[in-house]
Structure 1
Amino acid sequence: MSAVTNAEEIDGIRFRSDMTVELVKHAASDADVIWAARVSTKGESSLEELERDPERSKGLIRFLMRDRHGTPFEHSSMTFYVRAPIFVFREFMRHRTFSYNEESGRYRKLQPEFYVPAPDRKLVQVGKPGKYEFVEGTEEQYRLVVEATKRSCRQAYAAYLEMLEAGVAREVARGVLPVNLYSSMYATCNARALMHFLSLRTRREGSAFPSFPQREIEMVAEQMEALWARLMPITYEAFQAAGRVAP
């Protein structure tokens, strides 16, 4: 079986099966939730909470999460660098509470890097839309996916280069490229927006409202979740305890 476990390069074209997520910058802590919440009763003196241990106010964060008082969770900011296939970004950008800036195929030559599913990617959809599962494919099906994808990508990228070399504008030539081409973007959000994203784009036991995301965007969401959990551990614990429902 011709498998892509992480990345390989064939004739100058790179095929990979993973996603890149990096936390570029942040202003996010559990203390941000506390001082934002307490301004309603303490006014300007709520800023004193910035210097206090958030552990002392763990109960407040749990209360806000449980009773869905969401605005205190908006006083934080995280910027992620994400490199993933274009089809992942098209789903990602349905979340309008993020701010995005993506690499442009109008202004730069796009690099030959394409997504191919790893061997553990489930390939077969069973059931009706809205109520279906994905199950393992056969070795023959996986081989077909890999070989057909690589063949299509090589042909598409060759056509792209042919047009560029003939003087065709980048914004026109890119039209032949498939949506499994990798792109890159910065995505900025607050903790409340991220929790909403995670509630929809990850599948977890114990979720109050089960979700069934496409695996590739879930791979991005899992990395973002791990990075956020280290920044705001008390908020993250409250999110989990509340059934992974965004406040």
Structure 2
Amino acid sequence: MSQETSTPESRQSAIERLALVNELRWQKFSVLDDGFVCLVDVMGDDSSVVQAARVSYGDGTKKVSDDRTLIRYLLRHRHTTPLEMAEIKFLVRVPMDCWRQWVRHRTANINEYSTRYSLAIEAAQGTPEDQWRTQAESNRQGSGDALPVDLGAKLTIEEQELQQKIRSVYQSRIETGVAREQARKDLPLSTYTEAYWKIDLHNLLHFLALRMDSHAQLEIRNYATAIGEKIVAPLFPMVWEAFLDYRMQSMFLTRLDREVIQRLTAHAAAAKSAPPYSNDEFLAAQDPAWVSLNRSRERDECRSKLELLGLLAKS
């Protein structure tokens, strides 16, 4: 493989890159009430992705605009290997309930703070009185609207009392001589833990696509957003731009969605009507498999997509 030719421009770019990394490294970006994410180390940049894709070319032979075009092509067509050539290592401080979701992404290297070797971190995530949420009606694992603030205030006080009580019990066990590995067993999931988390750029973007999504739990969404906007975006600006355009702010249409649109627009053309179309027109054009269903998540998702496209009047 040919190597990049050192030029004044490339040397200046390397100096600026090093300054950026040093500025970000170990900077703690706050999340929730006592959590954070911070950059420990990074290997690679946008040009690393480009170089991996153009394995038979040196880096210095292409224009920046061409690099951007290639990166956008890779993200648009979901190529993975070039993005795996870059890696980022983080230090994160996160409540254990969020961490349980986090480690479901098994494509990272992790080393976590151990409450067998050390005392549990003396911090637990608290819920502000205006941030208690109802259970979502349409999503069994998600949240709905905010609870009334007066009720939230009561819940927050109860939460604080519970956390203080459990911490007192834990501390008493430690002072009595109970083993740390046993004394910890009743600590709440709101207790903070810390971990080093190293992951390649492709799998990091997959993590961010899922955890920045509006369907993700708000708390882990805050962590993912901080990682993406505060760390990934400045380190990989071209990749981040393409990621937003083709993953986070894009729309996936199924075959059924496409056929609904075709029937809807064909009927509208015959009737000489223009969008936004009515819900009755949508129901007339819906997939035949949905017609007999009183409730259909797939139909609801299709309706939401068409509303976002401006084809349907918002319900």
Match of 2:46 in 1: 30
Asked if the contact 2:49/2:71 (under 8 Å) is kept, the reply is yes
Compared with structure 1, are the counterparts of its residues 242 and 35 closer, same or farther at alpha carbon in structure 2 (3 Å cutoff)? same
The C-alpha deviation readout for 1:96-155, integer Å capped at 9, x for no partner, is 111111100000011321101234525112313358652111122211221111111111
Measure the CA separation in 1 of the matches of 2:60 and 2:108: 26
Aligned length: 217
| 1:218 maps to which of 216, 221, 224 | 221
Match of 1:21 in 2: 37
Larger radius of gyration: 2
* Percent of pairs with identical residues: 30
| 1:188 maps to which of 185, 190, 198 | 198
Measure the CA separation in 2 of the matches of 1:113 and 1:131: 26
Higher helix share: 2
Letter in 2 for 1:215: L
The alignment's TM-score, normalised by the length of structure 2, stands at 0.65
Asked if the contact 1:35/1:50 (under 8 Å) is kept, the reply is no
Match of 2:82 in 1: 72
Letter in 2 for 1:75: M
Measure the CA separation in 2 of the matches of 1:160 and 1:132: 31
Asked if the contact 1:32/1:50 (under 8 Å) is kept, the reply is no
Of 74-83 and 129-138, deviating more is: 129-138
Measure the CA separation in 2 of the matches of 1:26 and 1:149: 38
The C-alpha deviation readout for 1:180-219, integer Å capped at 9, x for no partner, is 011111111111111101111013xxxxxxx501111111
Measure the CA separation in 1 of the matches of 2:34 and 2:60: 38
Equivalent position SS for 1:104 = coil
Asked if the contact 1:85/1:180 (under 8 Å) is kept, the reply is yes
**Unpaired stretches in structure 1, ≥5 consecutive residues:** 1-15, 204-210
Compared with structure 1, are the counterparts of its residues 77 and 50 closer, same or farther at alpha carbon in structure 2 (3 Å cutoff)? farther
The alignment's TM-score, normalised by the length of structure 1, stands at 0.82
Equivalent position SS for 1:242 = helix
Query: Aligned-pair RMSD on alpha carbons?
Result: 1.9
Measure the CA separation in 2 of the matches of 1:139 and 1:81: 34
Tell me how far 1:64 sits from its aligned partner. 1.1
Higher strand share: 1
Asked if the contact 1:113/1:181 (under 8 Å) is kept, the reply is yes
Match of 1:112 in 2: 122
Tell me how far 1:85 sits from its aligned partner. 0.6
Q: How does 1:82-97 map to 2 (within 5 A)?
A: 82-97=92-107
Measure the CA separation in 1 of the matches of 2:178 and 2:189: 21
Measure the CA separation in 2 of the matches of 1:92 and 1:151: 27
Measure the CA separation in 1 of the matches of 2:33 and 2:197: 21
Q: Is 1:240 matched with 2:241?
A: no
Tell me how far 1:173 sits from its aligned partner. 0.1
